[in-house]
């Protein structure tokens, strides 16, 4: 069984850490999410999803504010996770809040694309 | 008088680390030429995705990258060109992606469809080129000559720094 404290990735140029905050999980990303980060993110997001279901969170926040870049492979990891949430029974669904940095211009387009993919589940804040 | 084009060319064997280094260089370089940071971000994203595409699908690793900035009287054009060799299977896959892109008038709508399809994919995302077109707001084309693949991504730019 996962605990939020076990959900972290630390690579040379990328890190991801999950912590619990009340009835939420907070995923903080930083660095450069490129091909080197893909496998770690592919492993982390399903485990975070399982933990979110286990503790019955209302929301998961994903903090992109210190993420310099995300490639399409890592973007796909988020698409798969969001798709999993969309397939849950209504009672188990949780919301996703994406925290963005207006100075990182790629985030406006990429996070908008994610929001449009699941508009009922996702909000974006800058 | 219109200024002459500015360009740089790079022939190398990209790897994961070098791709991000090139993306950062492209960002630094074009921030000195293009006022709009959002445009620079689009160019950097397109460069990164096209280079990763070449790493994943190139048959011998060697890749030629060219980025050209052509100032115009009312608008300037940025062209990103990637050339690499690929095997027949990957060339066919590339043709399929471009054929699909050509069927959609709205690149963002196509992007959303590609996202829905990729959610269950086990290998690859199939999103790289579609993302360049939709998020990068690039006009995309490609040519094949034997096993040599050339991908061209172009966008227009409003203004150039005066310095």
The full set of domain ranges for chain A reads 4-100
What confidence score (pLDDT) does residue B85 get? 95
pLDDT digits over B2-45, tens only? 678 888 899 988 888 899 999 999 999 999 888 899 999 999 99
pLDDT digits over B127-145, tens only? 999 999 999 999 999 999 9
pLDDT digits over A25-77, tens only? 999 999 999 999 999 999 999 999 999 999 999 999 999 999 999 999 999 99
Q: How far apart are CA B89 and CA B57, in angstroms?
A: 9
Q: How confident is the prediction for chain B on average, in pLDDT?
A: 91
Of A13, A71, A106, the CB nearest to B52: A71
Q: How far apart are CA B36 and CA B24, in angstroms?
A: 16
Q: Is the CATH number 3.40.190.80 carried by domain B6-157? A: no
Encoded tokens for B28: 């630094």
Chain B contacts to A (CB-CB under 8 A): 16-17, 19-20, 23, 37-38, 40-42, 44-45, 48-49, 52, 55, 108, 111-112, 115-116, 118-121, 124-125, 127-128, 131, 134-135
Which superfamily does A4-100 belong to?
STAS domain (3.30.750.24)
Q: Are A85 and A117 in contact (CB under 8 A)?
A: no
């Amino acid at each position: 069984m996962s605990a939020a404290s076990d959900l972290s990735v630390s690579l040379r140029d990328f890190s991801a850490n999950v912590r619990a905050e009340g009835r939420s999980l907070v995923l903080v990303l930083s660095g450069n999410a490129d091909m080197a980060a893909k496998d770690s993110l592919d492993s982390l997001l399903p485990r975070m999803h399982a933990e979110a279901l286990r503790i019955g969170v209302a929301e998961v926040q994903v903090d992109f504010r210190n993420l310099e870049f995300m490639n399409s492979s890592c973007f796909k990891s988020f698409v798969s996770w969001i798709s999993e949430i969309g397939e849950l029974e209504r009672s188990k669904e949780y919301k996703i809040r994406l925290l963005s940095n207006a100075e990182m211009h790629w985030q406006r387009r990429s996070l908008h694309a994610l929001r449009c993919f699941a508009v009922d589940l996702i909000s974006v804040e800058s | 008088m219109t200024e002459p084009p500015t360009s740089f060319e790079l022939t190398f064997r990209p790897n994961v680390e070098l791709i991000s280094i090139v993306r950062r260089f492209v960002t630094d370089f074009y921030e000195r030429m293009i006022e709009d940071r959002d445009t620079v971000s689009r160019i950097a994203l397109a460069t990164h995705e096209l280079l990763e595409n070449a790493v994943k699908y190139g048959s011998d690793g060697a890749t030629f990258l060219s980025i050209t900035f052509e100032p115009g009287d009312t608008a300037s054009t940025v062209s990103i060109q990637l050339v690499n060799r690929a095997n027949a299977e990957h060339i066919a896959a590339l043709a399929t992606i471009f054929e699909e892109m050509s069927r959609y008038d709205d690149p963002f709508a196509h992007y959303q469809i590609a996202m829905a399809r990729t959610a269950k994919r086990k290998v690859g995302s199939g999103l790289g080129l579609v993302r360049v077109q939709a998020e990068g707001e690039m006009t995309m084309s490609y040519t094949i000559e034997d096993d040599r693949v050339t991908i061209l991504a172009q966008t227009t730019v409003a203004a150039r720094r005066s310095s």
